[in-house]
Amino acid sequence: MRDESSAGTQRVALVTGASRGIGRAIAERLAQDGFAILLNASDRGTLDAAAREMAASGATVHPFACDISDRDAVAKMLTETEQRFGRLDVVVNNAAVSLRVNGRPPCLEATPLEHWDRMLAVNLTAPFLVCRAAVPLMKRNRWGRIVFVGSIGTRMVTGNTSLPYASAKAGLLGLARLLAAELGTHGITVNTVVPGRVKTGMSDSYSNCEALDIEYAKRTPVGRIGQPRDIAAAVAYLVSEDAAFVNGAIHDINGGMYLP
């Protein structure tokens, strides 16, 4: 990992859940676009390996392993971001968990309370904690970009979304809307990308994943499911200067499977 003490001018992006899947693709894309990256996930070994690979490709990257539902750890992560880079410009709230029973979303009566608590903690409370700790750093420069990663399961009934997961992701839409209204006057925009089905470890963990890939591709006008880079490209636009007038919007990135 390169220690970039010149980061006073280089913009800095914090990407949660960035050790693999969509978060990794977002981190790599933002690094290519010139951002220094604070890379987060909870498993230190996988995260450090991802950071080493990105650094070998020329990225300025600093890993911080923590469970983002741990408020003390989140506070430490933001302190370390400031110490390491001296600024923070972008937050991508990407990390999430999708807990299922036997690989499938259980019905109401079969939904364990532990699943509800965990998914609300990681998928909704944690983004709130991260934003609360990050926004003071962004306000200093009167510039910032916050992106939430939602889910198509809050936009349409796919038959493949658990109740706690959809509830947490729906909560993100409310959080994003109100933050957009509150923070716009500070030069900080807040948007949500809402992926359709994307080929990652999460989607591959579902019991009938191959059949689901085929079914979703058939239901999608562009004829395929998503790849992590499809979501990363949308995030890259939303955190760019070009997106200065885009605030409080929900961006469906799903090949047209959901058409509002």
Query: Active-site residues: which are they?
Result: 165
Which residues between 104 and 133 bind ligand NAP (CB under 6 A)?
122
Q: How many residues bind ligand NAP (CB under 6 A)?
A: 31
- Shortest gap between Cβ of 96 and ligand NAP (angstroms)? 3
CA dist 106 → 113, 238, 244 (Å): 12, 34, 41
Q: Closer to ligand NAP by CB, 43 or 242: give it.
A: 43
Residue choice 12, 14, 17, 144 for contact with ligand NAP (CB under 6 A):
17
- Shortest gap between Cβ of 8 and ligand NAP (angstroms)? 28
Kindly provide the b/e burial profile for residues 214-231, where b requires at least 16 CB atoms within 10 angstroms of the residue's own CB. Answer: ebbbebbeeeebbebebb
Q: Which residues pair with 188 in a beta bridge?
A: 144
Residue choice 39, 68, 131, 133 for contact with ligand NAP (CB under 6 A):
68
DSSP 251: E
Which residues between 218 and 257 bind ligand NAP (CB under 6 A)?
none
3-state secondary structure of 248: coil
- Residue 82, phi then psi, degrees to nearest 5: -65, -45
H-helix or E-strand spanning residue 12:
strand 12-15
Residues interacting with ligand NAP, by CB under 6 A? 16-23, 40-43, 46, 67-69, 94-97, 122, 149, 151-152, 195, 197-198, 200-203
